[in-house]
């Protein structure tokens, strides 16, 4: 039986992020919604750290192949920037954080300084957007619900590039995003809300996450409102569970040329 969440008297929301356009848009949306938002900004992991971690799990060939895809996708920055500018204009967003939102730099969301900062800020809810995985110890130390915005439909598209993999697996009806509670796994916590959308012909692996972030703004706000009101109702969706990673360079190019899924 699902135990009711305690009602928070605190309307403050802390967004934890490593920075970037997607979390910037989320923070803008929450601030415009009238929420009392503060940001804990962690230092981004280096590419070397990411590649070494993936190599330990998947082997060096796959890890370097995934890095190659990310480098190649950046070479298409001009095409991505055109689509990004179109989406930002259509939805009335820009690339800068609101000046009214306090920003607190930390080394990592898992650092002791972060837990101490959360104790000081006393938020009623915490939202993760584009961060490293939160450790079990840190999660247990936090005093309020921790929610994650995930650019994929759980549980079949956990991890990274969920939108891309849904298209590649002929599952376009599950091109979407999930708001879920954070637990000890990777995108395995109870689902709060889902949203699905459709990519445009001009979208590709570099723009899918932004498209999904924009589509999920309303359910992101609703998830936080639910947390603050003590009415979170997580559930475990049915279906297979799979942890996704970026495609290798050769796999991405093959699928792009053969199936026009970039």
Q: What is the mean pLDDT of residues 163-183?
A: 97
Of 242, 245, 243, 188, give the one whose Cα is nearest residue 54: 245
Report helix angle 21-32 to 208-215, nearest 10: 10
Positions of E strands within the chain: 12-17, 36-42, 103-106, 125-128, 146-150, 158-159, 176-181, 191-196, 243-244
Instruction: Provide the domain limits for residue 50.
Output: 12-259
In this structure, the strands spanning 36-42 and 103-106 are parallel
pLDDT value for 106: 98
- For residue 58, is it within any domain? yes
- What is the spatial distance between Cα 228 and Cα 63, in angstroms, rounded to a whole number? 40
pLDDT at residue 8 above 60? no
pLDDT at residue 2 above 60? no
Q: Do residues 45 and 18 make contact, with C-beta atoms less than 8 angstroms apart?
A: yes
pLDDT at residue 250 above 70? yes
- For residue 1, is it within any domain? no
- What is the spatial distance between Cα 214 and Cα 256, in angstroms, rounded to a whole number? 24
pLDDT value for 12: 93
Residues 6+ apart with CB under 8 A from 241: 154, 155, 156, 158, 188
pLDDT value for 47: 87
pLDDT value for 10: 64
Counted domains in the chain: 1
Long-range CB contacts for residues 229-233, cutoff 8 Å, separation at least 24: 229/7, 229/8, 230/4, 230/5, 230/6, 230/7, 230/8, 231/4, 231/5, 232/5, 232/145, 232/181, 232/192, 233/2, 233/192
- For residue 3, is it within any domain? no
- For residue 6, is it within any domain? no
pLDDT at residue 129 above 50? yes
- For residue 54, is it within any domain? yes
pLDDT at residue 4 above 70? no
pLDDT at residue 1 above 50? no
| Percent of the chain topping pLDDT 90 | 89
**What's 106's domain CATH number?**
3.40.50.12230
Q: Do residues 163 and 262 make contact, with C-beta atoms less than 8 angstroms apart?
A: no
- For residue 134, is it within any domain? yes
- For residue 102, is it within any domain? yes
- For residue 2, is it within any domain? no
What is the pLDDT of the chain when averaged over all its residues? Answer: 94
Which tens digit of pLDDT belongs to each residue from 189-200?
999 999 999 999
Beta bridge partners of 105: 41
């Amino acid at each position: 039986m699902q135990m009711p969440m305690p009602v928070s008297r605190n309307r403050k929301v802390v967004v934890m992020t490593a920075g970037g356009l997607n979390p910037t848009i989320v923070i803008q949306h929450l601030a415009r919604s009238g929420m009392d938002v503060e940001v804990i900004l962690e230092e981004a992991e280096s590419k070397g750290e990411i590649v070494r971690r993936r190599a330990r799990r998947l082997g060096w060939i796959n890890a370097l192949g995934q890095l190659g895809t990310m480098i190649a996708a950046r070479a298409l920055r001009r095409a991505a920037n055109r689509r990004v500018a179109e989406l930002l204009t259509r939805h009335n967003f820009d690339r800068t954080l609101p000046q009214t939102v306090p920003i607190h730099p930390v080394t990592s969301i898992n650092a002791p300084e972060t837990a101490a900062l959360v104790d000081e800020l006393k938020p009623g809810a915490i939202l993760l957007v584009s961060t490293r995985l939160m450790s079990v110890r840190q999660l247990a130390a936090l005093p309020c619900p921790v929610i994650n915005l995930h650019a994929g439909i759980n549980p079949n598209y956990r991890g990274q590039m969920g939108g891309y993999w849904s298209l590649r697996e002929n599952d376009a009806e599950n091109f979407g995003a999930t708001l879920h509670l954070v637990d000890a796994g990777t995108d395995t916590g109870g689902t709060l809300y889902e949203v699905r959308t459709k990519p445009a012909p001009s979208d590709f692996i570099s723009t899918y996450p932004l498209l999904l972030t924009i589509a999920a703004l309303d359910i992101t706000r609703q998830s936080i409102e639910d947390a603050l009101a003590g009415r979170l109702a997580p559930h475990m969706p049915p279906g297979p569970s799979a942890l996704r990673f970026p495609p290798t360079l050769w796999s991405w190019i093959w699928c792009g040329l053969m199936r026009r899924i970039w």
